[in-house]
Amino acid sequence: MEKVFKTVMILALSFFIGCNEDTVDLVGLGTITGRVVEAESFNPIENAKVTISPSNNTIFSDADGYFIMEDVEAGDYSVSATKEGYLTNFEPATVTVGLTVNVIFEMEDETALNRPPSTPILITPADGAEEQELSVQLIWSSKDPEADSVTYRLEIKNANNNDIIKVEALIDTSYVASNLKYGTKYFWQIVANDSINPEVLSAVSSFKTKVNPENRYFYVRKFSNDNNVIYSANYNEVDETPGNEVQLTADNKNSWRPRKNQASNLIAFLRTFNNETHLYTMNQDGSNIFKVTSVVPIAGFNLNDIDFSWSSNGEKLIYPHYNKLYSINKDGSGLQQIFQTSDGSFITECDWSNDGSMIALKTNDVTGYGVSIFTINMSGNILTTVLTGVNGAAGGLNFSADNKLLLYSRDVSGFESPNNRQLDTRIFVYNFVTGIAKDLSVDKPAGTLDLDPRFSPNEAEIIFVNTSNDGLSLKSIYKVELDLIISIDSRTLLFPNATMPDWE
């Protein structure tokens, strides 16, 4: 019996051991290791919850994003990583007995699947719209697919300069742009931002404000880049204030000496082109700029002093080129030399009489002095010598409508210097009937200069520039009223920091 019992026990133990060995072989254990990082930067993500399914065993990543799961039964698993602020990430893993499988999670920000707002569509005003008021309602449309909160940035650029109006954090899809300038082209654009995706930019649209038909004054201001820029404006006689200033030329171009012609409704002016000075024309609002001269540019002693003149019918212009005077049609054709000085002196200024019968000229030598002012007929014959044989600078020619008077300015001090400085420049009116020149600057402040005189359209006033004789101070445009005997009544400041006036 004892022998039988031992045999049974040995068989039972052998069966039990055999069964255990089979179980280990079937189950087995392996290891899952890995790391959790950000998708873009690959920076580690700490405390990400890593779970294997279907067992649902869980562990958290350490400060460097690493994790390890040991004694994982062999088999196929889905491993997930979750962390607040990130999209849940899933990776497959096959655990093999006695081996380690490595899993890397590159987790994206929870907004990674968020879609941006639609491209804003600019609705009002229509692209290229003109005659807009100085306050314009801008309207656009845009939608966000996830209905995220969207803000808009509006950018409005002035075509005449680099000024940009920026309005941030707009919630509505409309905005009233106010305090715009007359006769100015603007470009506008909308930028949509949902604070998640990159900004979305609309197309660029343009509109142009209406031109103020009352602007009859034209003048020049100098920008910080040393370029001259042409403006128009009006003047309120009741309030005695300037208004409706319109910048007509861009500040990246050097443009000066505006001259309006009523018959053609064009403004002629000078502009630098390829290191030469040429005649241009433009509309009253600054549009349709046209280069008139090409073969023979404007040239002479001082380009800031050089002047040209329209024919009264607006079909031709005359201009100087050193010692020669040319005429040219407004379309650039018909270039013709009409006069040349006999002594080689430079022609600096000219003015064409209203009836087209004569031209006033101011000539000077290469130093700007040795001035002569005289008139010629259209055959080039000298008619009247107004000024000659005096020391000092002179200029500023302008005929009256009936050809009986001629405005000009002259430095009565007779001072001459290498930099052409003037000390006591006054305005005179020459009477062709009496042959007498009358001083109009009777109330000119001491130490100042009166320059660039022009008759008003009704010739009851004159417009001119006054500035200190130091050559550095501000230049401003004034007007004075004239009585029947051509004497100064009073001075009115029209436009501060302005030169080269024209009043038509």
Q: What is the DSSP string of 332-347?
A: S---EEEEE-SS-PEE
Among candidate residues 209, 231, 253, the one where a domain is terminated = 209
Which pair of structure tokens corresponds to residue 466? 């006054």
In a shared domain, residues 129 and 88: no
Region of 164 (left: φ > 0; alpha: ψ -120 to 50; beta: rest) is beta
In a shared domain, residues 193 and 318: no
In a domain, 6, yes or no: yes
In a shared domain, residues 248 and 193: no
In a shared domain, residues 88 and 126: no
Q: What is the pLDDT of residue 238?
A: 75
pTM: 0.67
In a domain, 283, yes or no: yes
Q: How far apart are CA 225 and CA 253, in angstroms?
A: 10
In a domain, 232, yes or no: yes
CATH number of the domain enclosing 33: 2.60.40.1120
Q: How far apart are CA 408 and CA 385, in angstroms?
A: 13
In a domain, 10, yes or no: yes
Q: How far apart are CA 67 and CA 109, in angstroms?
A: 20
**Identity (one letter) of the amino acid at 348?**
T
Q: What is the pLDDT of residue 489?
A: 53
In a shared domain, residues 331 and 280: yes
In a shared domain, residues 21 and 37: yes
In a domain, 63, yes or no: yes
Which pair of structure tokens corresponds to residue 95? 């655990």
CATH number of the domain enclosing 269: 2.120.10.30
409: containing domain: 217-454
Among candidate residues 82, 107, 132, the one where a domain is terminated = 107
In a shared domain, residues 175 and 102: no
In a shared domain, residues 283 and 262: yes
In a domain, 328, yes or no: yes
Q: What is the pLDDT of residue 476?
A: 97
CATH number of the domain enclosing 156: 2.60.40.10
In a domain, 474, yes or no: no
Question: Mean pLDDT by 10-residue block, N- to C-terminus, for the chain (504 residues)?
Answer: 42 44 62 92 93 92 95 93 89 93 90 84 95 92 89 92 88 91 89 89 93 86 92 84 86 95 96 96 90 97 96 97 98 97 97 97 96 97 97 96 96 94 96 95 92 94 95 94 59 94 94
In a domain, 463, yes or no: no
In a shared domain, residues 205 and 222: no
Q: How far apart are CA 431 and CA 408, in angstroms?
A: 11
* Helix, strand, coil abundance in the chain, percent, nearest 5: 5, 50, 45
Q: What is the pLDDT of residue 213?
A: 66
Q: How far apart are CA 228 and CA 273, in angstroms?
A: 13
Number of folded domains that form the chain: 3
In a shared domain, residues 63 and 149: no
In a shared domain, residues 163 and 222: no
Among candidate residues 209, 239, 258, the one where a domain is terminated = 209
In a shared domain, residues 161 and 285: no
Q: Which of 152, 55, 60 is nearest to 95 (CA)?
A: 55
